[in-house]
Amino acid sequence: MSDMWSGPIADQWEPAQVEHSELVHSGGKWNVIVETATIGGHPVRRDVVVHPGAVAIVVLNEINQVYLIRQYRQPLGAYLFETPAGLLDDPDERPLIAAQRELAEETGFAAQMWHVLVDFFNSPGGSSEAIRVYLARGVTPVHGGRQHTGEAEELDLPGVWIDLGSAVDAVLDGSLGNPTAVVGILAAQAASSANWETLRDPNSPWVAREKLWSIGRLPLG
């Protein structure tokens, strides 16, 4: 039988001792470093993508439909149905402001009601990417509609309204695989079942991002 944990069921920040760190790639959006660290008494080498973090938005209308956009993703060579989302442009950018910007840029919508729905790490085995997912309700079109400010993948982002229950079914049967869509849709269904009592204030502290900043896991602007 494997060892059993007897402590609190909550993520804990205990960075391993890093003996050596080398920047091997400095990209336009994120960096890659190779670290030699001591974990559990064993020296190991690990590749780490130092990521700026991102926000995503589950857009829900008055008849319980969620809005998804269809976007091409070059690493997969596939078009995915996703929640609106985007990178944080600056290490100290307020995530709510970023979410409001991305909602307008990718959908042409504005929302009256904002809440934090869920926070998660996208790929903690290799990346420091932390994502905050918001729930946006009371949605209306912005004046002039969506501004086509992006390029390539962001030029054409057709959207669709789908019943939240049908979106959950699409996640569970494998039709939808984008991480913010999967996490956001299931979190929205759970929050709805709890009469929205699990929602957090839109300006709630993002402790994970603060910790990542403190240990140097965010690109410096």
Identity of the residue numbered 7 = G
For the residues 127-134, what does the mean pLDDT come to? 97
**Could you confirm whether 151 is annotated as catalytic?**
no
Q: Is residue 84 within 8 Å of residue 104, measured between CB atoms?
A: no
By C-alpha distance, which of 167, 169, 198 is closest to 184?
A: 167
Nearest one of 142, 86, 87, 81 to 111, comparing CA atoms:
142
Maximum C-alpha span of the chain: 62
Minimal CA–CA distance to 118: which of 69, 67, 10, 191?
Answer: 191
Among 57, 179, 58, CA closest to 123: 179
Count CB neighbours of 17 within 10 A.
9
For the chain, the domains span: 17-50, 54-204
Residue 165, both tokens? 């229950």
Q: What phi, psi does 156 have (nearest 5°)?
A: -120, 110
> Above 80 in pLDDT, residue 145?
no
Q: Report the DSSP beta bridge partners of residue 65.
A: 163
Q: Are 77 and 67 in contact (CB under 8 A)?
A: no
What distances in angstroms separate CA 82 from CA 92, 140, 175, 195, one per listed residue? Answer: 25, 19, 12, 24
Q: What is the pTM of this model?
A: 0.93
Check residues 65 and 145 and name the one with the higher pLDDT. Answer: 65
Nearest to 106 by CA among 162, 139, 146, 60: 146
The whole-number average pLDDT for the span 126-146 is: 90
Does position 23 have pLDDT exceeding 60, yes or no?
yes
CATH topology of domain 54-204: Nucleoside Triphosphate Pyrophosphohydrolase (3.90.79)
Q: How confident is residue 29, by pLDDT bands cut at 50, 70 and 90?
A: confident
Give the best-scoring range by mean pLDDT among 5-19, 88-102, 125-139: 125-139
The one catalytic residue in 14, 82, 154, 210 is 154
- Kindly report, residue by residue over 60-86, the tens digit of the pLDDT: 999 999 999 999 999 999 999 999 999
